[in-house]
Structure 1
Amino acid sequence: MTTPAAGNDPAGAPLEVQHQEWDDMVWPALAARVPAFEAAKVVNSWAGYYEYNTFDQNGIVGRHPTVESLIFATGFSGHGIQQSPAVGRAVAELIVHGSYRTLDLRPFGYERLSAGRPIRELNVV
């Protein structure tokens, strides 16, 4: 569950920044919504793979069901940067105390994948 199935590996996908797409589509939309973007300039750019789990595009957090020493904190899609402080704290509590103390992340556990219980979130991009 942590790597793509055979044939689904994105190897060879283009990783060049699409500058023309940015100039033609993204930049005008940003500038129309926030006029201050007219004065901003792109200084640096990069392209890379977008990490997510294909089951429900939400993070997988907690212990592996059969390997006690393996703890997941992966598969968050783009919203992982927003959730990382809480997930970091929860995983630290799981390691130190053996359970979540502040925020119960059990619904995000690995078991939901094998049980077929996706977490539906309409705002995942």
Structure 2
Amino acid sequence: MNTAILAQDLRGLCGQTCIALLMNMSVEEVVKATKCGKGKMSGRKLFEALDLFQVDRAEKMKYNRGKQVELPECCILSEHGHFLLYYKSVFYDNIKGVFSDYDYSQLVAYLEINLVERM
């Protein structure tokens, strides 16, 4: 996983950043392929983008509504209007960077990703 992309200013590109990390590509490449720019990545568009890149994923989000859960090895977390990536006990966020402690009260839902072989 190329975490160097997190050093850029990625505000408004949270879903695109998650996909870029998963696919080992630049955020710019994801934006171009999905035609989805800053502040435009909704949940539906995230699913469409994952499908575009043929990312093996769960059919739907699992909702926890702020309760602590045991996350799968790789998943995209959905907070209130924000996405971040979780992989092997580490969180990757386009705003906060890389961290291991997480406030589960912010978590609304998560989408399991079966992409371990690419990372």
Q: TM-score scaled by structure 2?
A: 0.24
Structure with greater proportional helix content: 1
Larger-Rg structure: 1
Structure with greater proportional strand content: 2
Higher RCO (CA 8 Å, separation ≥ 6 residues): 2
